[in-house]
Amino acid sequence: MLQPGKPAEAFDSIFIFIDLWLLILPRQRKENTMLRVGIIGYGSRISNMAKRMAMFGIPYRVTAIADPRAAEIQASQDDFLTEASFYEAADELLAQADQLDGVMIGTRCHLHTEMACKVAPTNLPLFLEKPVAITFEQVKQLDETFRTVTAPVVVSFPLRLSPVLQKVREIIESGQVGTIEHIVAFNDVPYGSGYFRSWHRNYELNGGLFLQKATHDLDYLNYLVGQRPRWISAMKARRVYGGDMPFDLQCKDCHLRETCPESPFNRFRFGFESEQVQFNERRNYCVFSEGLELQ
How does pLDDT run along the chain (295 residues), one tens digit per residue? 333 444 444 444 455 555 556 555 655 444 567 889 999 999 888 998 888 877 777 788 999 999 999 999 999 989 899 999 999 999 999 999 999 999 999 999 999 999 999 999 999 999 999 999 999 999 999 999 999 999 999 888 888 888 888 999 999 999 999 998 888 888 777 777 888 888 888 888 889 888 888 888 889 999 998 888 888 888 888 888 999 999 999 988 899 988 898 887 787 776 666 555 555 666 788 999 998 888 7
Tell me the whole-structure pTM to 2 decimals: 0.84
Give the number of other CB atoms < 10 A from CB of residue 132.
20
What DSSP string describes 123-151? T--EEEPSPS-SSHHHHHHHHHHGGG--S
Query: Of the candidates 1, 271, 21, 281, which has an alpha carbon nearest to the alpha carbon of residue 128?
Result: 21
Q: Domains of the chain by range and CATH?
A: 7-158 (3.40.50.720), 189-218+230-283 (no CATH)
CA angle 144, 150, 152 (to 5 degrees): 100
